[in-house]
Structures are given as C-alpha cells and as structure tokens.
Homo-oligomer: A and B are copies of this chain.
Amino acid sequence: MDDVERPDAPDRDTLLQMFEIQSRIKLCDERFRTMLMSGQIQLIYYSPRGQECISAGWGVHLRQDDYVVTIYRGLHDHLAKGVPLRELWAEFLGRATGTCKGKGGPMHITHPASGLMVTTGIVGAGIPIANGFGLAAQLNGTDQVTVVNFGDGASNIGAFHEGMNLAAVWKLPVVFVCQNNLYGEHTPMSMSTGVDYISERAAAYGMPGVTVDGNDPVATWRVMGDAVARARSGGGPTLVEARTYRFWGHLMGDAMEYMPKDERKAAMAADPVVLYRAWLINNGHATEAQLAEMEEVLTAAIDDAVEFAMNSPQPDASELYTDVFGDNNDAMLQGVSR
C-alpha cells in the first residue's frame, strides 16, 4: 500500500477494525512459529502470514450469523470470523478445551457460535459445502452471506467447478474467495493453471469475477464489500481473486527451494500489515501509540490463550469413541475385536 491517502478508503473505525484483525493474525502466527521453532509445541502448521489483509477485508463486512468455510491454511480466516483465541489455540494444540475438544485439529476448526462452520483439509471440498450454507439462507429467506476461502491451486479441482456452477445456477448468496498466493504446495500457479487470473474462470459460470490486490487492504475491503452486498441483496455469487503471497512456504519446515529467493524477499519487504500500519499512521487515521496499545492488548490476549491451551489437558481417552454418531454410539461401534 502506497503511503498516500486513499479516497476509496472506508471510515476510520473500519480501517482500525481491519488493522486489529490483521494484527491478531500476524501476532498469532508469529507466536505459533516462535513456539514451533523453539520446540515448545509440535504440530503441522500452515502459516497464513502474508495473507492477513484478505480475511480482514471480508471480516469487517460479515455479521456473526454469516457463514465462513475455509481450509487447512485457515488461521487468518478463523480469527477474522471471530473464533475465540483460547479455544482456537487449545484446538491447535489438541486439547480438551479446544473448539472441537482436540479431536479436529488445525485442519478442521469449527466454531458455529462464530459462524466458522467448516475447515477442510481436502483441496476444493469446502466449495460445494459452502453452497449448502448459502442454500440454507436462501430457503430460510434470511440475508445471511457465506464466504468460502480456498487457494489458487484449488481452482483446478473438480469440486471448484461443480460448486461454482451450482452457485451460479441457483444464484446462491456465496462469495468465493480465492486467496491466490501463487503456489499450491511446491508448484507455481503458472505450471498448473490454464489462465493467468483465477477470476477469468467466473465467466465460465456466468458469474461476476474480479481480481484484487489482496495486499491492499482498502481495495480488498471495497471488492469484498461489493461481493458481500451482492450476495446479501439476492444478487447471487461472486468470485473474488485476491492476489497475495505465502511468506513461509506451504507448511512449517518447507525448504522453499522452489520459491525464487528474490521473489520471497520482495514480498516480505512489502509486508502488507507493516505497510498498512505505516499508512494508517502517516495518513492520520491512528497514532503510533494507539496501534502499539492495540498490539499490546492483542499480545496479552495471545499470552492468555497460549497459557490456557498449554495448561489444558488432552482429551479424555473415552473421547476417541464419542461423536462418531449422535445416538447409541456403542452399538454403532460394534464389530471390533480389540
């Protein structure tokens, strides 16, 4: 984000709210990585660092009763939808106090109270499911919106195609957010995808498609706002491609030998959260002290969540066998010698 005032910017509250979400994500991510590197915790971790502005961009447009679906790389989306820090941390660490009692884990965060409905580890699979939430709202006659997040790589899988087409044909209130970080695991988008812009694919369904710089919070906010408003008002679905970059590769421990060093260096130098922070201050939307205080509060909340999670027990052994079915679990688990 260039350091000039933006006539297209939202009001100050919204600007700060976006920053708050971005910072929460960034600080959370930093804590995860620090604790992972120091060996305090161990888990498969997909860092969303670099992609904060996208979730913040839709986050401020959504109500609590709107639905969000996301993927294994979902921490930013979970936080943008308001999943509470304590339960989120506890779930990432596999504790009984986690959102899912430690049974789902980072790839399967669910917190209906915040509207975070499904996190899936199967590339593209959340897209058809998101349509179901949209359909529920449509059938109920509410104006709830569903936002489903996925990567650039996901746009090559069958579920994307089927889901996009059905949403268009049924005019579902769903916003399809393709967080294009230019890579799917170790493969650059150009080696896997027949188009340069994922948003070009929207036309194949008669759906509006738009590409936005996902590192520009103001532009992203506007595009997301239009898409959410279209969905909310019965105008049907939109495909938003928000272009960004994964700072830390596919997952922690990734050697990143397939990412050109300069490319990554440049992306990190243009850290969108850092630039946005500076922009807020330089354009008088906030003072350094204000933002620092916000960050302090967030840090304290993360401290608290980490402590809560680290001090929480693992799930009781009996939990292995619960929640498989709603009723009569024992009978359903029958047929085991062990």
| Chain A residues close to B by CB (< 8 Å) | 156-162, 164-165, 168-169, 191-196, 200-201, 203-207
Contact = CB atoms under 8 A, between A and B. Distances in A.
A164 B195 CA distance: 12
Identify the 3 closest CB pairs spanning chains A and B, nearest first.
A158-B158, A161-B161, A194-B205
Nearest to A168: B194
Given A204-B203, A205-B195, A207-B194, A157 B168 contact: no
Contacts of A165: 156, 193-194
* Identical copies in the complex: 2
A212 to B, nearest CB: 19
Given A157-B162, A169-B192, 8 more contacts: A156-B161, A156-B162, A158-B158, A158-B162, A161-B162, A164-B194, A165-B193, A200-B204
Contacts of A200: 203-204
12 contacts: A156-B162, A157-B161, A158-B161, A161-B162, A165-B193, A169-B191, A194-B204, A195-B204, A195-B205, A196-B206, A201-B204, A204-B204
Nearest to A196: B206
Contacts of A193: 165, 169
A137 to B, nearest CB: 20
Contacts of A195: 203-206
A194 to B, nearest CB: 4
Contacts of A158: 157-159, 161-162
Contacts of A196: 206
A165 B158 CA distance: 10
A167 B170 CA distance: 29
A156 B164 CA distance: 10
Nearest to A202: B204
Nearest to A167: B194
A112 to B, nearest CB: 28
A206 B159 CA distance: 20
A157 B159 CA distance: 8
Contacts of A207: 194
A119 B196 CA distance: 34
A204 to B, nearest CB: 4
A252 to B, nearest CB: 29
